[in-house]
């Protein structure tokens, strides 16, 4: 699956890049409908108690946009939350399209 990755306020390690690619493999069954997939990873500089990471997914599916923003003290957990939330929304879109197709027949 192709995606654009933007990183702000921290360095992305090769292991984190591999972790992200591995987690997004589970979303490949939606790839036939996805037009664009943008991922923004950042460390929030506004928090004074520890580092808070932010994962934002913007996925264009047909004429719809799925936007997910999750935060956590661990970047891996923020990625997992965002992926799960995006997969849930993409599943709803896919189910609705199949229901609409069945009603049209």
Measured CA to CA in angstroms, residue 9 lies from 3, 51, 75, 104 at distances of 20, 11, 12, 49
Residue-level pLDDT at 104: 66
Mean pLDDT of the region 38-50: 82
Query: pLDDT band at residue 99, thresholds of 50, 70 and 90?
Result: confident
- Nearest partner of 39 among 89, 86, 91, judged by Cα: 86
Query: pLDDT band at residue 27, thresholds of 50, 70 and 90?
Result: confident
pLDDT above 90: residue 8:
yes
Provide Rg for the chain, Cα atoms: 15
What does pTM read for this prediction? Answer: 0.87
DSSP assignment of 69-93 equals EEEESSHHHHHHHHHHHHHHHHHHH
Residue-level pLDDT at 40: 97
- The domain 4-104 having CATH identifier 3.30.160.100: the answer here is yes
């Amino acid at each position: 699956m192709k995606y654009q990755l933007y990183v702000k306020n921290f360095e992305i390690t090769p292991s984190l890049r591999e972790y992200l690619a591995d987690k997004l493999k589970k979303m490949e069954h939606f790839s036939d409908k996805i037009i664009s997939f943008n991922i923004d990873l950042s460390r929030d500089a506004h928090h004074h108690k520890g580092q808070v990471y932010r994962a934002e997914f913007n996925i264009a599916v047909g004429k719809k946009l799925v936007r997910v923003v999750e935060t956590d003290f661990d970047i891996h957990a923020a990625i997992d939350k965002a992926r799960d939330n995006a997969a849930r929304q993409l599943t709803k879109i896919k189910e609705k399209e199949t229901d609409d197709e069945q009603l049209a027949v």
